[in-house]
Amino acid sequence: MLAKRIIPCLDIKDGRTVKGVNFEQLRDAGDPVELGCRYVAEGADELVFLDITATHEKRKTLAELARKIAKHLNIPFTIGGGIRSVADADVLLNAGADKISVNSAAVRNPELITQLADQFGSQFVVVAVDAKEVNGEWLVHLNGGRVATEHRLLDWIKESENRGAGEILFTSMNNDGTKAGFACEALAAVAEQVSIPVIASGGAGSMEHFRDVFTHGKADAGLAASIFHFKEIEISDLKKYLADQRIPVRL
């Protein structure tokens, strides 16, 4: 069995790492490159950097940030936010990113996933999906959760895979920032729907939550932000705990 990955996520606003609850009430969490270096030392498997205001404010993700990250870090990282074209992604790849993440732009123009996969390969393309359970149905949302769509979660992630996505990063908006646990039931349904890796996001608050997301949620990777940013859980301690639970991780 492949090792499960632990991935800190750094949400970027105006060049700073921020964290909120249910995508709102943002507070400063530090310099993204400094935090990234700390996570490398702690044993993170990968990092994700998302410019959470890039789509909303019509700004491109800064290639300068990708260059800084690539210069200082030696583990794979994904960067996303405001990527709307192959040209946007190419700039980030050349700046040192290992993968790019697309979200709202892909929903608006699904052909973008196909174009990116054809140009760079599926392993370069992460489709991030923000979804919210509304009246018992999981619906995809855009622009950092600000805009609801009629896309059903499972339909969209299957289409994303068919178009060439290499990974799915699924964030439950209901759970995001609550520290009440991942949306394991929905994650398991997502994992059963696709054959590509699924990264779970939204709701991590304890080591047990990671155990549950890898067992009940069937996720390939667990992503979290505030519990790592504010040192509520050390990644090295988390990995030792998971290993004790007989969950395969890289120690």
Ramachandran region of residue 124, left (φ > 0), alpha (ψ -120 to 50) or beta?
alpha
Contacts of range 136-140, beta carbons closer than 8 Å, 24 or more positions apart: 138/186, 140/107
DSSP string, 44-106: -S-EEEEETTTTTTT-PPPHHHHHHHHHH--S-EEEESS--SHHHHHHHHHTT-SEEEE-HHH
For range 46-55, the mean pLDDT: 81
111-164 pLDDT, tens per residue? Answer: 999 999 999 999 999 999 999 998 899 999 987 677 899 999 999 999 999 999
Check whether 20 has a pLDDT greater than 70: no
Sketch out the chain's domains with CATH numbers.
Answer: 5-244 (3.20.20.70)
For range 215-243, the mean pLDDT: 95
Q: Among all residues, which ones are annotated catalytic?
A: 11, 130
Express as a percent the part of the chain with pLDDT over 70. Answer: 93
For range 30-57, the mean pLDDT: 85
For range 83-104, the mean pLDDT: 93
CA separation for the pair 9, 223 (Å, rounded):
6
175-208 pLDDT, tens per residue? Answer: 987 899 999 999 999 999 999 999 999 999 999 9
Check whether 168 has a pLDDT greater than 70: yes
